Amino acid sequence: MSYNIIMKSKKKIALIVVLATILFGSIYGYYMWNKPARNVAGEKGLEITAIAIFDSFNLSEQRANALYLNKAIQVTGEVTETKQNQAGETVVYLKSNDPLFGVNCTFKENPGTIAKGSTITFKGVCTGFLSDVIINQGIIVK
């Protein structure tokens, strides 16, 4: 008799555990699926100059990838050109020691007018080195 009661309550507990797991699992899954996009504004950026980060990638791409890839980077440099990319986002190229390429910064929101030749500080996510060092989803710091 008592054995039956214990078995019943055990079954009940097991059922509750299963239901709770499903419930919290679904909430977690829903949260993960609707996780907001990464926002560098709330992250502390690694501070570096455009010349230094370009040289670092140029010297050893593998080493620079380990240091900067997917990190929030706060880069300071001289603007050589501004333009809009094909998605309408503002792009700023920062000067490096290379005659052709530099640091390619894409803003996630329109930063307003940025003058060619001015020095700016931009914070964004480094996605790698092509011919430029690529930093995107960024914001203007200064």
By the criterion CB under 8 A, which residues form the site for another protein? 32-38, 65, 69-70, 83, 85-87, 89, 91, 93, 101, 104, 106, 125, 127-132, 134, 136-137
Closest contact distance (angstroms) between CB of 79 and another protein is 14
Answer positive or negative: Cα dihedral of 35, 36, 42, 46.
positive
Euclidean distance between CA atoms 104 and 125, whole angstroms = 11
Q: How far, CA to CA in Å, does 138 sit from each of 78, 92, 95, 101? A: 16, 11, 17, 19
Q: Which is nearer to another protein, 58 or 127 (CB)?
A: 127
- The phi, psi pair for 132, rounded to 5°, reads -100, 160
Q: Which is nearer to another protein, 9 or 85 (CB)?
A: 85
C-alpha torsion 88→94→97→98, nearest 10: 0
Closest contact distance (angstroms) between CB of 49 and another protein is 20
Q: Which is nearer to another protein, 5 or 32 (CB)?
A: 32
Closest CA to 104 of 86, 131, 70: 131
Closest contact distance (angstroms) between CB of 38 and another protein is 6
Closest contact distance (angstroms) between CB of 12 and another protein is 31
Q: Which is nearer to another protein, 74 or 137 (CB)?
A: 137
Q: Taking each helix axis from N to C terminus, what angle separates 61-68 and 50-59, rounded to the nearest 10 degrees? A: 130
Q: Which is nearer to another protein, 6 or 109 (CB)?
A: 109
Closest contact distance (angstroms) between CB of 17 and another protein is 23
